[in-house]
Amino acid sequence: MYNTDIPTRAELPSSKQLLRSTILAILAAIAILVAIVLPAEYAIDPTGIGRALGLAEMGEIKAQLADEAERDRARDQQGGAPAVVPSRDQRSSLLGSVVARLVIGPAAAQTAPSGRTDEMTITLKPGEGTEVKLVMRKGATVDFVWTVSGGVVNFDLHGDGAGQSTSYEKGRGVPGAEGVLKAAFDGNHGWFWRNRGRADVTVTLRTNGNYTEIKRIL
């Protein structure tokens, strides 16, 4: 058997010390909640610290994604599932047909026989944000490239649908990007851009691959 040192009554913290420690812990938790958690999770920044640290912007993106996911869930419950036919936007169709003749090669046609190509140009004022989504099936892929004229933007490449959501990539102060987007599940997958500069910028997005619809949310 081992002997255990039992603290004496004098070594134990007093009720006053326990109360003071509890109050300090509560104040610290409130400070963290107001300065960090609220800006980062809900875009609520009463102190301004969150925006200075870049957390408020993260919260705005999360709030935007949550709103979009909620709208999608409500639409799905009402039977308004995403369409599986090409968009009726005549400008998008015209640009798609022109770019398709110039860009799509035999290899792309073999890998994505039902694919399509679109180009979209959007002008953002200072502080303005927008979102473009592609309706994709799980495992579908899309080649994309987007560029910014007149400045840089913050972006979030993400997906949502059927109660699921994911973020593929994020960036701040980016002049453009390109790559391959692979859908993690059935739903809407695309980009959210925000112009944090002081002048208008123009974002040009080109997509080529397996999706049934392209739509601008904002």
Parse the chain into domains and list their residue ranges: 15-53, 85-216
Could you write out the DSSP letters of every residue in 66-109? Answer: HHHHHHHHHHHHTT-PPP-S----HHHHHHHHHHHHHH--HHHH
- The class that CATH gives domain 85-216 is mainly beta
Strand, coil or helix: 4: coil
How confident is the model at residue 162, as a pLDDT? Answer: 85
How confident is the model at residue 20, as a pLDDT? Answer: 87
**pLDDT tens by residue, 134-179:** 999 999 999 999 999 999 999 999 999 989 999 999 999 999 999 9
How confident is the model at residue 68, as a pLDDT? Answer: 66
51 CA to centre of own chain: 18
List CB contacts of 14: < 8 A, sequence separation 6 or more: none
**pLDDT tens by residue, 8-46:** 656 667 778 888 888 988 988 888 877 777 776 777 878
Does residue 64 contact residue 131 with C-beta atoms inside 8 Å?
yes
